[in-house]
């Protein structure tokens, strides 16, 4: 009878050890997956930020070019009015 109880306790310990090892493996896998996902998200954010900055710079340069063209066309006296018109648009 004592042997049976001892065997049951040993099997329970083995089962608990197996469950702990499985839990540790899954935790490690989840951690690696999350790190990979974070890296992908970081790269995507950097890419989008670069694209937005590039578009903003191009748009600003286009506006400056337009102001300079209008200022040259109408003379420097109206430069402020042209600048206000372009910014308002």
* Domain regions of the chain by residue span: 2-88
Which pLDDT value is given to residue 53?
96
Which pLDDT value is given to residue 75?
61
Which pLDDT value is given to residue 15?
92
Which pLDDT value is given to residue 89?
59
pTM of the model: 0.51
CB 89 within 8 A of CB 63: no
Which pLDDT value is given to residue 3?
87
Which pLDDT value is given to residue 68?
77
CA distances 48 to 35, 36, 51, 62, 68, Å, are 20, 18, 5, 21, 30
- Average pLDDT for consecutive 10-residue bins of the chain (89 residues)? 87 94 94 91 92 94 83 62 62
């Amino acid at each position: 009878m004592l042997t049976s109880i001892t065997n049951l306790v040993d099997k329970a310990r083995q089962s608990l050890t197996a469950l702990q090892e499985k839990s540790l493996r899954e935790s490690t896998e989840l951690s690696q997956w999350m790190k990979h996902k974070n890296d992908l998200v970081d790269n995507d954010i950097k890419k989008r930020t670069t694209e937005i900055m590039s578009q903003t710079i191009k748009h600003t340069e286009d506006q400056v070019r337009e102001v300079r063209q209008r200022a040259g066309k109408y003379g420097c006296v109206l430069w402020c009015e042209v600048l206000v018109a372009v910014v308002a648009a």
